[in-house]
Structure 1
Amino acid sequence: MTVHFIGAGPGAVDLLTLRGHKILSECPICLYAGSIVPKEMLDFCPSNAILIDTAPLNLDQIEAEYLKAHQAGQDIARLHSGDLSVYSAVSEQIRRLKKHNIPYTLTPGVPAFAAAAALIEKELTVPEIAQSVVLTRISGRASTMPQNEKLEAFAQTGSTLLLHLAIHRLDEIVERLTPFYGVNCPVVIAARVTWSNEQILKGTLGTIIDQFNQQPVERTALIMIGPALHEHQATESALYNIEYQRRFKTI
């Protein structure tokens, strides 16, 4: 018996990986995050599969489902939204599985920020403008931020900032970042990207609050901030420059 953690991707069912699809189609039990994983993805499960929505469950109850399946010798597909590597709550589940010597695997998924970047047709790293991407959040009810990971510390670098789980404090974010990026810095708010009801707001640190108040976005939104998001960029990578000396090239 094995518990298979699967990144379901941002929402669109055709962005689930082939590996994830294969595992889903073979597991007799599927635990899924019902509030953020599309129901259509469950159609990939066997017709007689047991489907368990984990949205109302706490960690102890989820652990109990793993134990029950382990005792029955049945594999479990555990669907999480986006990718497992960030803000997935996978680590605490793995600790419990290790405690019971229950095998597990991890299958990555398309992260929401990558889907959002594709939707707005932007590369998040632009030569000489921003070569780093920071995935972060601000302190909330679930957990506080480490002392050395303050928003201002990241803002000093001028990197592209991608803020998760923070849309409810947009006013505070704008206030804290404006001194570093300026009022004209681009901001994109992306919610439920690739879902049928996806929402995209484009503005600047000087305009985004008014735009948001006129068109509120739900709490699962991603906030994207940084000069790399400007509509017009003048710099180009040297990688494909005719003068660039390539290690591998045809004659």
Structure 2
Amino acid sequence: MTNYPIKFVGAGPGDPELITVKGSRALQQADLIIYAGSLVPDAVLHWAGHDARRISSADMHLEDIVDSMTQAHFNGLQVVRLHSGDPSLYGAIFEQISALEKARVPFEIIPGVTAAFAAAASLQIEYTLPEICQTLILTRAQGRTPVPDSEHLQSLASHKAAMAIYLSSGLAEQVQPILQEAYGPRARAAIVHRASHPDEKIIRTTVSDLAWQMQEHGIKGQALIIIGAALEDSPQRPASRLYDPQFTHGFRKGRQED
């Protein structure tokens, strides 16, 4: 009997076509799929085989999830643990991996598209602009889950880098004054609710109206707060040197200026 490794798969941000080819193949081959039922839309599960057993983990504890995975594994079944977005980002996979390692159960991780990149696509922006911004911070505000002192939002915002703030739409009144102090009240911001889903909502606003816009649109969860130079109106942004005809790199010699 073959014991297949358990596969942690990133389902992507919501659009079923934004799962990776490798992730969709894992779903097609799976005998058991334990998926994050509160976040992974049913449309993503359409990649699963007709005979696959599907279990939502929305009301399961860690021990229940691990027991279900390990029992199926030792019975020779192919198991997929399906997480929203990318498993490495707020995926709570560390404790599952630790339990599997303790039980000597092999596993592998298949990455997925995280919501920050789906949001950028919808906003039609590039986070990293030459000479303007070369850093993107993915973070969250402190709520019920503590944040290390060195990673408090005030500290990270002081860099004035591009920032995608997860899991913080219910903390907008706490987030807004922090962003105002760092970026200024008139700085452009965006709220992307349910990025890539059919009911995706994009709200372009300023930092000073962030909390009000959240309340006005009734957004309480599944939203990203985006801030950074990419959202500002800057008609004279420096172009990347990558395609500059005078710029030499490893694959092309630049033309000499006259």
2:172 counterpart SS class: helix
What residue number does 1:237 align with? 240
| Deviation at residue 146 of structure 1 after TM alignment | 0.7
CA deviations over 1:64-89 (Å, ceiling 9, x no partner): 10122123121101110001121001
| Deviation at residue 43 of structure 1 after TM alignment | 2.0
What letter is aligned with 2:141? I
- The equivalences for 1:111-122 within 5 A come to 111-122=114-125
In 1, Cα distance between equivalents of 2:182 and 2:76? 55
**Aligned-residue RMSD, C-alpha:** 1.5
What residue number does 2:69 align with? 66
What residue number does 1:18 align with? 21
The verdict on how the C-alpha distance between 1:233 and 1:153 changes in structure 2, with shifts beyond 3 A counting, is farther
| Deviation at residue 27 of structure 1 after TM alignment | 1.0
What residue number does 1:98 align with? 101
What residue number does 2:134 align with? 131
State whether residues 29 and 49 of structure 2, in contact with CA within 8 Å, keep that contact through their aligned partners in structure 1: yes
State whether residues 201 and 212 of structure 1, in contact with CA within 8 Å, keep that contact through their aligned partners in structure 2: no
1:248 counterpart SS class: coil
State whether residues 202 and 208 of structure 1, in contact with CA within 8 Å, keep that contact through their aligned partners in structure 2: no
1:55 counterpart SS class: coil
- The equivalences for 1:213-232 within 5 A come to 213-232=215-234
What letter is aligned with 1:241? D
1:208 counterpart SS class: helix
2:164 counterpart SS class: strand
What residue number does 2:54 align with? 51
What residue number does 1:40 align with? 43
| Deviation at residue 139 of structure 1 after TM alignment | 1.7
What letter is aligned with 1:4? K
In 1, Cα distance between equivalents of 2:235 and 2:103? 53
What letter is aligned with 1:218? K
**TM-score after normalising by structure 2:** 0.92
State whether residues 142 and 152 of structure 2, in contact with CA within 8 Å, keep that contact through their aligned partners in structure 1: no
What residue number does 1:204 align with? 206
| Deviation at residue 194 of structure 1 after TM alignment | 1.1
Matched, 1:80 2:83: yes
Of 208-217 and 44-53, the range deviating more from structure 2:
208-217
What letter is aligned with 1:40? A
1:30 counterpart SS class: strand
What residue number does 1:6 align with? 9
In 2, Cα distance between equivalents of 1:18 and 1:177? 38
Consecutive unaligned residues of structure 1, counting only runs of 5 or more, are: none
1:149 pairs, out of 127, 151, 162, with: 151
State whether residues 126 and 230 of structure 2, in contact with CA within 8 Å, keep that contact through their aligned partners in structure 1: yes
2:149 counterpart SS class: coil
What letter is aligned with 1:209? A
Of 12-21 and 39-48, the range deviating more from structure 2:
39-48
1:207 counterpart SS class: helix
State whether residues 11 and 38 of structure 1, in contact with CA within 8 Å, keep that contact through their aligned partners in structure 2: yes
The verdict on how the C-alpha distance between 1:246 and 1:70 changes in structure 2, with shifts beyond 3 A counting, is closer
**TM-score after normalising by structure 1:** 0.95
| Deviation at residue 96 of structure 1 after TM alignment | 0.4
In 2, Cα distance between equivalents of 1:233 and 1:78? 45
| Deviation at residue 220 of structure 1 after TM alignment | 1.5
What letter is aligned with 2:222? T
